[in-house]
A and B are shown apart, each in its own frame.
Chain A
Amino acid sequence: MSSPRFEANAAALAALIPDGASVAVPSDNSGVPMALTLEIIRAGKRGLRMIGGPTAGIQVDMLIGAGCVASVEAAGVSLGPRGLAPRFCAAVEGGEIKIIDSTCPATHAGYIAGEKRLPFMAVHGIFGSDVLTHRADWKIITNPFPPHQPLVVVPAINPDISIFHAPLADEHGNVWVGKRRELKSMARAAGKVLVTVDKIVPEDLAGNAELAPGLLASHYIDRIALAAGGAWPTALPPVHPEDGAELDAYAAAAQTREGFDRYLHRALTPRGPAQ
C-alpha cells in the first residue's frame, strides 16, 4: 500500500502544482487551505483552472486577484455573509478569466462520477436553466430504463490536483476530514492530492473506530504538510470558527484593486496566524 510523503511545509506543496493545472478546492468553511493558497500566490503560479467544491470563496477570490487563475468552474463564488467576491466579479466583468457556471448537485455528481471513473452522472432538474444552455459538455439523455424520462447528465470531474486543509493526520498518512464527505470524492477523483493539516499524531487513526468513518485513507493522498492554523481565517469546524474581523478586512480591502494589493502584500509578509 502506498503512503503519502510528508513535506516540510505548505510551500513544498505549492511547488508541486504546475502552471495551468486544474485544481479542485473546498467550499468555504470546509477545509479551505489558506496557508497553501498564500504559497501558491508567492510561487507566482499562473493559468490555474479552479474547480469549486461545489462553491468557492475568499481563496479563489485571492488567487484571481493575484493573477494565478485562468478559469473558474463553480456553482457560486462569494464571500458568504460578506457578499460578493470582489476580485472574482471584477475579473468576470473584465473578461480576464473564463467562468464555467455550474449548479451545486451537478458539481457533486461530477466528482462522484470522477471517483468511480465513470464517464458521467445524471442530475435531477436543471431543465430550462441557462446554466445548461451554456454548458456544451452537459447533455440531455433519455433514461434507458422505465419510465424513460429525460435526464440531464454531466461529465466526470477528474481534477489534476485536489487541495484541502484538515484538522488531523496520522504518521501513516491517514487524514481526518470529519463530516466533509465531498472532500473524499474530490480527492479520489483527482490525479494528485495535496493536504495541509493542523496536527500530525503517531496513532494509526484507521484503528480508531470513532474517527475511521471520517478518514480519507492514506492511499488516496500524495503529500501532507503540517501547517498549523492553515485554514485561517476561514472556519475549520469543529476545530475553530472563522476570524470574522480578518474576513471583514479582506471583504473591505478587496473592493478595489489597490486595496486588494495592499491586503495581499500584508498577508504575504511573514507572520504567524492570529490565534
Chain B
Amino acid sequence: MSNPMAGIARSDTYSKEELLIATMARLFGDGTFMTAGVNSPIPAAAGLLREQVDPGFYVAVHGDPGRTPFVDGGAEAFDMAAQGRLDVFVFGGVQVDGKANINLVGIGPYPQAKKRFAGTFGAASLFYLVRNIVLFFPKHDRRTLVEAVDFKSASAIGPKEAYRTGSPRWLLSERCLFRFDLEKERFTLVSVHPGHSLEEVREHTGFSFDVTDRVEMTAVPTTAERELIRGPVRDALSKPYPDFARKLLARQ
C-alpha cells in the first residue's frame, strides 16, 4: 500500500490539539454513527480519525455538505437519536458540573442573564438518547468545571423509568479525562494528560470527583495517529474548518 503520508515531515512531538483529538477518538469505541455539530473542529477531527482506524465508523460533519447525510429536514437527526441510531455526540458549553449537567444558556440569573449564550439546541433531549456522549470542555478551570451549573441546559439525571438509549460517559478537558457514572451521578478521574497532575486537576476543578488507586497518564498520540491527523484528517477538515486545518499543519 502506498504511503499517503509520503513527503510529510515526521516528528515525535505533538500539539495540544493532537493530544485531544487522539484521546477523544479513542473514547468513541464501538460507535458507528457520529454527528459533529457547529463550531466543533476538534470533535470533527476526532471523528475523522476514528473513521481512519475503524471502517465501520462514520462522522457527519456540520458545515461539510459532502458529510451531511440527512435528507429529510432538521428533525431527522433527533429522530435517529431516538431510534438509537446516533451513537456518538460531543457536547461543549459554558459550564459543566459534577453531575454532568451542562449549561449552554447563560451565566447568572435566568432569564435575564448577566452573560447570555446561544441556547440549549438539542442537548436536553439528546442527553437521554445518544449512546456515548463526550463532554468536551477544553478550558479547565473553576469557572467552567463548577459545583453546580447556573442553568441546566441538559441533565442526564432523570426518572429511572424514562426512555433512554444513552447518556454522558466522558468529560475531556485540557488537563485530564473523567468517566461519568450515571448510577453514582459522579465523575471518576481516568487519566491526566502529560505535564499535568492530580493535584493540579483538583485545584482547578470546582466539583468533587472520585479517583482510583493509581492515576494514569493519558496516552500520547501514536506515530500512526499523528500521521493520520496530519494527513487524511487534516485534508477532510480543510473544507468545513479551513483555518483550523491550516493551524494543524502549521504546527509541524
Q: Which of A80, A98, A130, A149 contacts B151 (CB 8 A)?
A: A130
Interface band, chain A = 35 or more
A75 CA to B123 CA in the complex, in Å?
Answer: 9
If A93-B116, A150-B162 touch, whether A76 touches B121 (CB-CB below 8 Å) is: yes
Do residues A78 and B118 form an inter-chain contact, with CB atoms below 8 A?
Answer: yes
Do residues B126 and A125 form an inter-chain contact, with CB atoms below 8 A?
Answer: yes
Do residues A105 and B125 form an inter-chain contact, with CB atoms below 8 A?
Answer: yes
Q: Write the nearest CB–CB distance from B199 to chain A, whole angstroms.
A: 32
Do residues A130 and B110 form an inter-chain contact, with CB atoms below 8 A?
Answer: yes
Interface residues of A in 33-84 (CB under 8 A from B): 53-55, 74-78, 80-81, 83-84
Do residues B153 and A129 form an inter-chain contact, with CB atoms below 8 A?
Answer: yes
Do residues A102 and B120 form an inter-chain contact, with CB atoms below 8 A?
Answer: yes
Interface band, chain B = 35 or more
Do residues A77 and B163 form an inter-chain contact, with CB atoms below 8 A?
Answer: no
Do residues B118 and A124 form an inter-chain contact, with CB atoms below 8 A?
Answer: no
Query: Does A8 count as interface, using CB distance less than 8 angstroms?
Result: no
Stretch at the interface among A14-22, A155-163, A165-173, A174-182: A174-182
Contacts of A85 in B (CB 8 A): 118
Contacts of B104 in A (CB 8 A): 76
A180 CA to B78 CA in the complex, in Å?
Answer: 15
Q: Which of A30, A81, A108 contacts B39 (CB 8 A)?
A: A81
B84-106 vs A, Cβ < 8 Å mask (1 yes, 0 no):
00000000000000000100111
Query: Does B152 count as interface, using CB distance less than 8 angstroms?
Result: yes
Do residues A127 and B155 form an inter-chain contact, with CB atoms below 8 A?
Answer: yes
Q: Write the nearest CB–CB distance from A186 to chain B, whole angstroms.
A: 10
Do residues B39 and A54 form an inter-chain contact, with CB atoms below 8 A?
Answer: no
Interface secondary structure of A, over-half rule: mixed
Query: Does B136 count as interface, using CB distance less than 8 angstroms?
Result: no
Contacts of A108 in B (CB 8 A): 74-75, 78
A108 CA to B124 CA in the complex, in Å?
Answer: 14
Do residues B128 and A124 form an inter-chain contact, with CB atoms below 8 A?
Answer: yes
Q: Write the nearest CB–CB distance from B205 to chain A, whole angstroms.
A: 22
Q: Write the nearest CB–CB distance from A117 to chain B, whole angstroms.
A: 18
Do residues A77 and B126 form an inter-chain contact, with CB atoms below 8 A?
Answer: no
Do residues B78 and A75 form an inter-chain contact, with CB atoms below 8 A?
Answer: no
Chain A residue nearest in CB terms to B156: A128
Contacts of A148 in B (CB 8 A): 161
Query: Does B184 count as interface, using CB distance less than 8 angstroms?
Result: no
Stretch at the interface among B47-55, B65-73, B211-219, B230-238: B65-73
If A55-B119, A105-B125, A129-B120 touch, whether A179 touches B72 (CB-CB below 8 Å) is: yes
Interface residues of B in 146-188 (CB under 8 A from A): 151-159, 161-164
Residue among A85, A180, A181 having the largest count of chain B Cβ atoms under 10 Å: A181
A134 CA to B105 CA in the complex, in Å?
Answer: 12
Query: Does B111 count as interface, using CB distance less than 8 angstroms?
Result: yes
Q: Write the nearest CB–CB distance from A93 to chain B, whole angstroms.
A: 5
Contacts of A124 in B (CB 8 A): 82, 125, 128-129, 162-163
- Can you report 20 residue pairs joining A to B where beta carbons are below 8 Å apart? A27-B74, A53-B74, A54-B74, A55-B119, A55-B121, A78-B38, A78-B119, A84-B118, A104-B121, A105-B82, A105-B122, A125-B126, A125-B162, A125-B164, A127-B162, A128-B157, A129-B124, A130-B105, A132-B124, A149-B159
Seed contacts A92-B106, A130-B151; 15 additional CB < 8 Å A-B pairs: A53-B74, A76-B120, A77-B118, A78-B38, A92-B116, A93-B115, A103-B120, A105-B78, A108-B78, A125-B125, A149-B161, A150-B159, A150-B162, A181-B72, A182-B75
A: which residues have CB within 8 A of B? 27, 30, 53-55, 74-78, 80-81, 83-85, 88-89, 92-95, 98-99, 101-106, 108, 112, 123-134, 147-151, 179-185, 237
Q: Which 6 A-B pairs have the closest CB atoms?
A: A127-B158, A181-B73, A128-B155, A125-B128, A76-B119, A78-B118
